[in-house]
């Protein structure tokens, strides 16, 4: 006999329990968290100063001692800056950018998609047309153009000082660099929310027609109550999966943009711009591009595995591959948006 006050585990506890059974995803979660937390203590961990240039030490191979006797775990770049130090700082920049961009654009997408899907009518028509219109643009081209404009006119574009200072503190960069990163983020968010909005709208449209929403409305519940207690919780699982995928999409898109020279600019380290420099020295120093490649490779794989694990954890009823199909379509949609090929 069960005790009368035994409470069944909540939805989220169950989800977390199921997620834990996905070993790889769990390890990936630990890994990403560790990298991000470590990067927050960059100033403590990093053996050298971020931009400390010493030309005598340039091109030191990994695991070796530079001409002046200093030791560099991952070697040094073409200006003799310590790779390990810059990688840690870059993790802070790249991951924070990806997280901020995805979070903000998901939030905007949820609000817009919910409003459009739940209330329908004129709001829905206008937002759907707008989303459709934005998605006819070749996103990657727009990203490149916007990035190039933002970088070249960085002094003229007004960004609230408080914002760039906050970002500067989080990323351990100065205010000027912070401003540049903020601009890149704004561009990503401006182009990124439409995917989420469309996706949320579609889901809300089907949830809205469910009997439980209808009966709740019949009982006299307000729209706000309905949205918060019925629509949002049911739409949440796919949104979380989309969020994870969007995270890896943003990470990859940011590094691709910086790799091409239109994203975060040197000396602010980002994995993408470190790779773009290393890439031009790869014929003389083949190990060099491997150093920034490694974190990009590890993080994008890890985030995708977490997404995989989350998907399995969030939707145990539908063991079928239907969710997988949806997810793949979504993945494709996100991928097309970043079009980083």
Minimum distance from residue 322 beta carbon to other proteins (Å): 6
24 interacts with other proteins by CB under 8 A: no
335 interacts with other proteins by CB under 8 A: yes
Residue 76 phi/psi, 5-degree rounding, is -130, 160
- Give the separation between CA 36 and CA 251, rounded to whole angstroms: 13
As given in the structure block, the two tokens for residue 105 are 């654009």
Strands 71-72, 64-65: pairing is antiparallel
Closer residue to other proteins (CB): 66 or 296: 296
Minimum distance from residue 13 beta carbon to other proteins (Å): 28
304 interacts with other proteins by CB under 8 A: yes
> Can you spell out the DSSP letters for 134-201?
HHTS-HHHHHHHHHHHHHHTTTTS---HHHHHHHHHHHT--HHHHHHHHHHHHHHHHHHHHHHHHHHH
Q: Are 161 and 209 in contact (CB under 8 A)?
A: no
Minimum distance from residue 5 beta carbon to other proteins (Å): 42
319 interacts with other proteins by CB under 8 A: no
Residue 64 phi/psi, 5-degree rounding, is -140, 170
Which residues is 76 bridged to in the sheet?
82
316 interacts with other proteins by CB under 8 A: no
300 interacts with other proteins by CB under 8 A: yes
Closer residue to other proteins (CB): 56 or 321: 321
87 interacts with other proteins by CB under 8 A: no
Q: Identify whether 267 is preceded by a cis peptide bond (ω within 30 of 0).
A: yes
Q: Binding to other proteins (CB under 8 A): which residues in 105-164?
A: 133, 136-138, 140-142, 144-146, 148-149, 152-153
Q: Which of 80, 82, 57 is nearest to 68 (CA)?
A: 57
301 interacts with other proteins by CB under 8 A: yes
The alpha carbon dihedral of 190, 327, 256, 172 has a sign of positive
Q: Are 50 and 85 in contact (CB under 8 A)?
A: yes
Stretch that binds other proteins, among 11-19, 102-110, 228-236, 317-325 (CB under 8 A): 317-325
**x/- letters, 224..253, toward other proteins (CB under 8 A):** ------------------------x---x-
As given in the structure block, the two tokens for residue 244 are 């994870």
289 interacts with other proteins by CB under 8 A: yes
165 interacts with other proteins by CB under 8 A: no
310 interacts with other proteins by CB under 8 A: no
Name the residues that contact other proteins, by CB under 8 A: 133, 136-138, 140-142, 144-146, 148-149, 152-153, 248, 252, 255-256, 259-262, 275, 279, 282-283, 286, 289-290, 293, 296-297, 300-301, 303-304, 308, 320-322, 324-325, 328-329, 331-332, 335-336, 340-341
């Amino acid at each position: 006999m069960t005790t009368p006050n035994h409470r069944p585990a909540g939805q989220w506890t169950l989800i977390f329990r199921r997620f834990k059974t996905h070993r790889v995803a769990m390890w990936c979660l630990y890994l990403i968290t560790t990298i991000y937390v470590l990067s927050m203590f960059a100033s403590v961990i990093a053996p050298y100063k971020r931009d400390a240039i010493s030309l005598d030490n340039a091109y030191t191979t990994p695991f070796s001692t530079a001409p002046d006797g200093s030791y560099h775990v991952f070697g040094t770049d073409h200006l003799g800056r310590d790779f390990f130090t810059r990688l840690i700082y870059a993790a802070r920049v790249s991951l924070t950018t990806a997280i901020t961009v995805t979070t903000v654009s998901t939030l905007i997408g949820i609000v817009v998609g919910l409003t459009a899907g739940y209330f329908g009518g004129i709001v829905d028509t206008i937002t759907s047309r707008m989303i459709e219109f934005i998605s006819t643009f070749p996103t990657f081209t727009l990203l490149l153009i916007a990035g190039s404009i933002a970088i070249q006119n960085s002094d003229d574009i007004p960004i609230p000082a408080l914002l760039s200072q906050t970002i500067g503190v989080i990323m351990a960069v100065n205010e000027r660099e912070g401003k540049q990163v903020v601009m890149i983020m704004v561009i990503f968010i401006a182009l990124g929310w439409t995917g989420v909005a469309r996706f949320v709208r579609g889901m809300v449209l089907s949830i809205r027609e469910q009997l439980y929403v209808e009966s709740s409305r019949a009982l006299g519940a307000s729209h706000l109550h309905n949205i918060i207690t019925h629509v949002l919780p049911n739409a949440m699982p796919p949104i979380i999966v989309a969020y994870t995928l969007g995270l890896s999409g943003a990470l990859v898109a940011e590094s691709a943009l910086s790799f091409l020279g239109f994203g975060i600019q040197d000396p602010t380290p980002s994995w993408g711009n470190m790779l773009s420099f290393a890439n031009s020295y790869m014929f003389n120093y083949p190990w060099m591009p491997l150093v920034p490649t490694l974190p990009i490779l590890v993080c994008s794989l890890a985030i995708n595995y977490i997404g995989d694990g989350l998907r399995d954890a969030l939707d145990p009823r539908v063991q079928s591959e239907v969710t997988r199909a949806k997810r793949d379509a979504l993945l494709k949609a996100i991928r097309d948006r970043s079009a980083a090929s």
